Amino acid sequence: MPASLPTTIFLDRDGVINEKAPEGDYVKTWGEFRFLPGALEAIKALAGVAPRLLVVSNQRGIAQGVMSEQDLLDIHENMLSEIRRTGGRIDSIYHCPHEKHSCDCRKPGIGMFLTAKQEHPEIDFEKAVVVGDSLADLDAASRLSCMPVLVTTRADWPDVLEAARRRPIPDLVVASSLRAFSHGLMEDLDSA
C-alpha cells in the first residue's frame, strides 16, 4: 500500500469499477453495465480520503463503431448518478475513443493523465495511484511515477502479473478488487 495517503487516485473503469465485457466486446449501453461487487462501497471509502478520484478509460468500441460518444456519455451519467446515490464521488472521467496505436491518450499512453493534470494542476503523479486490471494501466502508472495497483478481476490476471514482474514495474500492489484495495488503504490509515 502507499507509504502515505495518495492525493489522486486514477481508476480504470472496465474490470475495476464494472464487469468487463467478454474479450472483443464492449460495455455499450447502461443496460450492459454491472458494478463489480463492492465497487460502490470502495468508491465511497476512497472519496472520503482522497482529494481526487478520476476515471481514465480506453473506449475503443467508439473507434470500432459499435457504440457512440453519446452511448458512453449515457453510461457515465448513470454510473455517476449511482455512485452519488450511494455516497461516493468521481471528480472527472477521461476516455480515449481511439483505435490502438493511433494516439497518445490510449493507455499505456499517458495523454489522459496529462489532460487530467491540465484540468487539476495540483495533481502530483508521484503521490498518485493508478488502479487498473491490465498491463496497459500498470505501464502508464510506471511512466508517470505513480503507484501501480493491479486488481485481479480478469481471468488472465496471472499472465498480466507475470508480464508486470518481467518489466519490472516498481512498487506494484496487487489486490483482488477495488474493494480489497480500499480496505487495505483504510487499514493502513488506521494503523498510521
Known catalytic residues? Answer: 12, 14
DSSP type of residue 65? T
Cis ω for the linkage preceding 108 (within 30 of 0): yes
Query: 1-27: string of b/e by CB count within 10 Å (b at 16+)?
Result: bbeeebbbbbbbbbbbbbbbeeeeebb
User: Quick one: cell of 168?
Assistant: 519490472
From the list 101, 87, 95, the residue with the least C-alpha distance to 71 is: 95
User: Quick one: cell of 162?
Assistant: 507475470
22, HSE (Cβ side, Cα atoms, 13 Å): 0
Strands (E), the chain: 8-11, 52-58, 92-96, 128-132, 147-151, 173-175
* Secondary structure (3-state) at 4: coil
